């Protein structure tokens, strides 16, 4: 199922990638085509608009020239007429009503006659009398000659407040000038400059573009953005040029006439605005189309391919799980029909072969399990008549029988030999290797050799036995049941936990030698430690740590140590405790590997002594045992309170959490208490005086203090 989902996901990813690439290529092509067309269209529009505007400006310029000439001639004629009237009738200068009448007849707004110092002598309106013509009335006067040879000064221009135009001639009757002022609204409104500034001529390109107009290098329009005159005048003619100002891009197009240069400025976003809207519409349509294609192809894939593969995969999974009666029936297309028929034929063939092989495998598995079960000691307690030790072992077989095994025996009355082995094989080969190894090691142990010599000889024999490729990790040990001296050898990675009296289980760290069966000349070493009565050794194979739960988390050594902290009465109960923990951890599932465990508790030789491990701050347990021993010897124990008091006083001198091992030994002659505690040399007797005992001793060796209190009871 995971493979089908992976195939479907990969196909959909590739399909999505293909459609995305197609959509992207389409978008690029559409945008490129439409943007090129939009730019060409914008250039055509600007060229047509500017060409029409340039023709209009040139025609208007010519018309204004004709009007200016006619207006100048009319103004000059009226000024000369006034000069003739004044020369013929000098009294007119002093007759305001006459001047007003002449003003009305000439169709002018102002009349001013000046003397040789240009001061006004007579004027309409009368408020101008006394003024000087140079006080803002004239604009660059031009001196001309009329047909009579008289000088005419024509001051043509604009008066900002009343749109007046002035014409001046020399007086004929006296030094001075005659000036006429008249309204020229028709002329002013016909001027191109005013028309461009007052909006009479629309200088727009579309809705957002603008037009800049220059006459002989002087700009006549204002609304051209932040472009400089030099930048606009340097534009090439008849070609679209891209400009940028204030982060905005413009298309500029320039055309030149005789006196004018017109430049169209069109924002790029307005040029491409329509293009973008069109492209968005097309891309949205393509997107919807591609989504529809994706959905259709996905549906067809699911209906024709994925569903068929899923059905085939479901049937194959059932077949691989052992259901050979399952049939594949997928006929969505001819290819799946052929595939189904082929699988069904193969399953029919496998069914007949599998039934036979399954029967043979079951026989082999049962035989291996029987060999392993029959070979391992199964009677516990192992040596019920020997009180110096307590030993128990177990082997939990996995679904596929491996070669884990244990063994123990006493070749003589003083020594116990035991081993735990992990064979790196399974089935019949592992069982045969196990039997040969067990028999060989038992024979070699009779010679009284050390564990290293026994393991070395067994390695050579097994290496040359013809079972090449099979190796075995082995923990082999020999215990002197009278002294507690343990000698052992580790061949390969083995697991061993040691519990000292009063302390939790700790890993027994020992250098590891070569596994058995890997190299003929392998060298092995013997190690030793001394067990005190009440101390335990727990040896197990790697199957314990390789046991996993339902979420595939292995059983750890820390978990095992935590389980072993629970106090048990004997070695057999310890194994039952660990077995129960393993069963709970796998939650009813089968073990993946064989699990072999051996627990040994050294008890020492029988005596009236009792060994305890207590905290110095909790003496009650020791007091109870001391009282119990003395009560067993005497109906009314003498000096029992004195011994209890002495024991409490010694413990009170030690830290409350200090671990103290006690040996309590009471006979009919004396009561003896021996204290053992690890610390720098410290003798409580130096601070305690007058203890109610008969004899005290203290010694300090190997970081351990030994203190003895003895009380005679007779």
| Residue partners of 663: CB distance under 8 A and separation at least 6 | 609, 610, 611, 672, 673, 674, 676
Which two structure tokens, joined as six digits, stand for 44? 């055509």
In Å, what is the CA distance from 125 to each residue of 76, 130, 185?
A: 20, 12, 20
Mean pLDDT of the chain: 79
Distance CA(407)–CA(370), nearest Å, equals: 16
Residue 406: closest CA among 380, 378, 376, 432:
376
Distance CA(454)–CA(319), nearest Å, equals: 50
Which of 393-397, 489-493, 611-615, 697-701 shows the lowest per-residue confidence on average (mean pLDDT)? 611-615
Q: Which residue has the higher pLDDT, 59 or 609?
A: 59
Residue with tokens 């490129």: 32
pLDDT in tens, 61-102: 777 777 777 777 788 888 888 888 888 887 887 888 888 888
Contact between residue 401 and residue 431 where contact means Cβ atoms under 8 Å apart: yes
Residue 297, sorted as left (phi over 0), alpha (psi -120 to 50) or beta, turns out to be alpha
Please state the rounded mean pLDDT for residues 509-533.
Answer: 89
Q: Which of the four pLDDT bands, split at 50, 70 and 90, describes residue 416?
A: very high
- φ, ψ at 81 (rounded to 5°): -60, -40
Q: Which of the four pLDDT bands, split at 50, 70 and 90, describes residue 362?
A: low
Contact between residue 526 and residue 472 where contact means Cβ atoms under 8 Å apart: no
Residue 581 has pLDDT above 70, yes or no: yes
Task: Show the domains of the chain with their CATH numbers.
Answer: 34-284 (no CATH), 380-602 (3.60.40.10), 610-712 (3.30.565.10)
**pTM (two decimals):** 0.47
Q: Within 13 Å of residue 385, how many CA atoms lie on the same side as its CB? A: 2
Residue 534: closest CA among 484, 495, 597:
484
Please state the rounded mean pLDDT for residues 439-455.
Answer: 88
Please state the rounded mean pLDDT for residues 362-375.
Answer: 65
Please state the rounded mean pLDDT for residues 527-534.
Answer: 87
Which two structure tokens, joined as six digits, stand for 209? 């573009």
Residue 516 has pLDDT above 70, yes or no: yes
Position 134 scores a pLDDT of 66
Which two structure tokens, joined as six digits, stand for 144? 């001309």
Determine what percent of the chain is predicted with pLDDT higher than 90.
12
Residue 124 has pLDDT above 60, yes or no: yes
Residue 139 has pLDDT above 50, yes or no: no
- List, in sequence order, every residue forming a beta bridge with 678; answer none if it has no partner: 704
Residue 147 has pLDDT above 50, yes or no: no
Position 605 scores a pLDDT of 67
Position 83 scores a pLDDT of 85
Q: Which of the four pLDDT bands, split at 50, 70 and 90, describes residue 260?
A: confident
Contact between residue 78 and residue 110 where contact means Cβ atoms under 8 Å apart: no
Which of 332-336, 411-415, 539-543 shows the lowest per-residue confidence on average (mean pLDDT)? 332-336
Distance CA(537)–CA(389), nearest Å, equals: 11
Distance CA(432)–CA(368), nearest Å, equals: 8
Distance CA(168)–CA(474), nearest Å, equals: 137
Distance CA(290)–CA(14), nearest Å, equals: 14
| Residue partners of 489: CB distance under 8 A and separation at least 6 | 451, 452, 454, 455, 474, 475, 476, 477, 513, 524, 525, 526, 527
Helix or strand run (H / E) with residue 633: helix 620-633
- List, in sequence order, every residue forming a beta bridge with 535; answer none if it has no partner: none
């Amino acid at each position: 199922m995971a493979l089908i989902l992976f195939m479907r996901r990969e196909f959909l990813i590739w399909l999505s990638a293909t459609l995305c690439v197609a959509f992207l290529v389409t978008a690029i092509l559409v945008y490129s085509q439409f943007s090129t067309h939009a730019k060409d269209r914008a250039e055509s529009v600007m060229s047509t608009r500017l060409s029409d505007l340039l023709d209009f400006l040139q025609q208007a310029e010519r018309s204004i020239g004709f009007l200016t000439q006619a207006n100048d001639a009319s103004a000059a004629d009226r000024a000369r007429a006034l000069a003739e009237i004044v020369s013929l009738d000098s009294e007119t200068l002093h007759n305001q009503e006459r001047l007003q009448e002449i003003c009305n007849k000439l169709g002018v707004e102002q009349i001013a006659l000046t003397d040789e110092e240009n001061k006004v002598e007579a004027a309409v309106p009368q408020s101008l009398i006394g003024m000087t013509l140079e006080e803002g009335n004239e604009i660059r006067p031009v001196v001309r000659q009329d047909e009579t040879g008289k000088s005419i000064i024509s001051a043509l221009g604009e008066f900002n407040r009343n749109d007046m135009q002035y014409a001046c001639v020399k007086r004929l009757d006296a030094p001075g000038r005659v000036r006429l002022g008249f309204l020229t609204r028709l002329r002013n409104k016909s001027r191109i400059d005013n028309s461009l500034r007052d909006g009479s001529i629309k200088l727009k390109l579309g809705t957002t573009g603008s037009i800049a107009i220059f006459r002989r290098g002087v700009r006549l329009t204002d609304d051209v953005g932040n472009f400089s005159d030099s930048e606009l005048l340097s534009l090439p003619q008849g070609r679209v040029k891209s400009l940028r100002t204030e982060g905005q891009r413009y298309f500029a197009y320039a055309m030149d006439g005789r006196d004018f240069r017109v430049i169209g400025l069109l924002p790029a976003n307005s040029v491409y605005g329509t293009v973008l809207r069109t492209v968005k519409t097309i891309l949205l349509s393509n997107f919807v189309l591609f989504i529809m294609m994706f959905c259709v192809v996905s549906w067809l894939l699911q209906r024709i391919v994925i569903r068929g593969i899923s059905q085939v995969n479901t049937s194959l999974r059932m077949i691989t799980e052992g259901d050979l009666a399952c049939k594949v029936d997928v006929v969505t297309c001819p290819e799946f029909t052929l595939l189904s028929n082929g699988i069904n034929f193969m399953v029919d063939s496998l069914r007949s072969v599998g039934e036979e092989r399954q029967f043979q495998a079951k026989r082999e598995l049962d035989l291996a399990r029987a060999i392993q079960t029959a070979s391992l000691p199964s009677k516990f307690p192992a040596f019920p008549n020997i009180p110096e030790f307590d030993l128990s072992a177990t082997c939990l077989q996995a679904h596929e029988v491996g070669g884990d095994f244990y063994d123990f025996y006493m070749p003589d009355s003083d020594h116990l030999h035991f081993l735990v082995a992990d064979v790196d094989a399974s089935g019949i080969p592992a069982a045969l290797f196990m039997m040969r190894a067990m028999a060989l090691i038992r024979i070699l142990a009779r010679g009284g050799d050390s564990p290293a010599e026994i393991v070395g000889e067994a390695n050579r024999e097994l290496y040359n036995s013809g079972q090449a490729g099979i190796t075995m990790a082995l923990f082999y040990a020999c215990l002197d049941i009278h002294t507690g001296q343990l000698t052992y050898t580790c061949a390969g990675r083995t697991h061993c936990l040691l519990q000292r009296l009063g302390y939790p289980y700790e890993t027994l760290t020992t250098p590891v030698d070569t596994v058995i069966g890997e190299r003929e000349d392998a060298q092995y070493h013997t190690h030793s430690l001394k067990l005190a009565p009440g101390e335990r050794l727990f040896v197990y194979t790697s199957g314990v740590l390789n046991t996993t739960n339902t979420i595939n988390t292995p059983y750890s050594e820390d978990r095992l140590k935590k389980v072993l902290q629970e106090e048990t009465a004997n070695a057999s109960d310890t194994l039952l405790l660990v077995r129960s923990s393993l069963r709970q951890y796998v939650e009813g599932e089968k073990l993946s590997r064989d699990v072999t465990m051996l627990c040994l508790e050294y008890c020492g030789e029988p005596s009236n002594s009792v060994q305890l491990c207590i905290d110095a701050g909790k003496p009650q347990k020791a007091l109870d045992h001391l009282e119990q021993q003395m009560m067993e010897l005497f109906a009314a124990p003498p000096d029992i309170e004195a011994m209890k008091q002495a024991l409490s006083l010694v413990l009170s001198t030690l830290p409350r959490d200090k671990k103290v091992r006690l040996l309590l030994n009471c006979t009919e002659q004396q009561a003896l208490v021996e204290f053992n505690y690890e610390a720098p040399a410290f003798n409580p007797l130096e601070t305690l005086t007058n203890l109610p005992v008969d004899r005290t001793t203290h010694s300090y060796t190997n970081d351990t203090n030994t203190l003895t209190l003895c009380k005679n009871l007779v």
